[in-house]
Amino acid sequence: MSIVNNKKRIGFIGLGIMGSSMAGHLIAAGHQLNIFNRSQNKGTQNLIEKGAKWFDSIGDLAAESDVIISMVGFPSDVEEIYFGTGKILDNAKGAYLIDMTTSSPSLAERIAVEADKRGCHSLDAPVSGGDLGARNAKLSIMVGGKKSDFEAVLPILQLMGANIVLQGGPGAGQHTKMCNQIVIASTIIGVSEGIAYAKKVGLNPSVVMQSIGEGAAGGFQLKNLGIKMIDGDFSPGFYVEHFLKDLGIALIESKKSNLVLPGVSLAKVLYEDLVSKGYGRNGTQVLYKKYIEA
């Protein structure tokens, strides 16, 4: 089944910093957009003004959607919206279920099993690229699930991302996202320390960026979050509390494979301290404060 030439009823659950932009691309492409969020906000209002249909119930949304996309905060949220009484799995009718939350691989596997029992099609499809990637439809989307299901929804995923890869069966997308977060964890530490060092020894960090940003140290974290660190901009593109959740998942999964990740362990300790000081709703670049306020 391909949906490339058909406009579908797409349900979208979770309209935060990234979700609202992602959903916006779907309605702009002409799909009927059904939306649910814990509360109505500026993002939901903008979507409603563009023609999205608001639902007060996840179950009602699921019953009236051909494709259901979720982009919520934590694995516990994913479990609730899928397995909760009267929620997605109780009401979806042959729908394609795409969880784009960064969540637990084992939970993705459970959803796939239950979806299959109910005649639905499940994919775990976490993303990377933050709010900027979501706004520009340039997200990297890491997918786990059946190849036939992946091919069926690929045209929809292409409305939100530019680098979309099927990594394997159920849970493979989430495992790939863990690889992504593991790399980012130590990278953000390095960016914070490099900029802090430049400042402490009397260099102009912005001028330093002109050199190292185009050298071997160059990369997304340095060029995007590094600039925000220098400017003192700690507004969220990705919440600290969500990144801390991801690090916890990575450590749990790595322990199952007897793999030690000292970089992730250090990042987790540093971010836990920031959360205890009230920075949980800041962007991950707020790690820089650990160095400039020391």
**DSSP annotation string for 65-94:** -SEEEE--SSHHHHHHHHHSTTSHHHH--S
| Alpha carbons 146 and 168: distance in angstroms, whole number | 8
Cβ-contact 116, 122 below 8 angstroms: yes
Going from the C-alpha of 209 to that of each of 84, 199, 226, the distances in angstroms are 48, 12, 8
Within 10 angstroms of residue 125's Cβ, the number of other Cβ atoms is 29
Q: Which residues carry out catalysis?
A: 177
The 3-state secondary structure of 172-203 reads HHHHHHHHHHHHHHHHHHHHHHHHHHHHHCCC
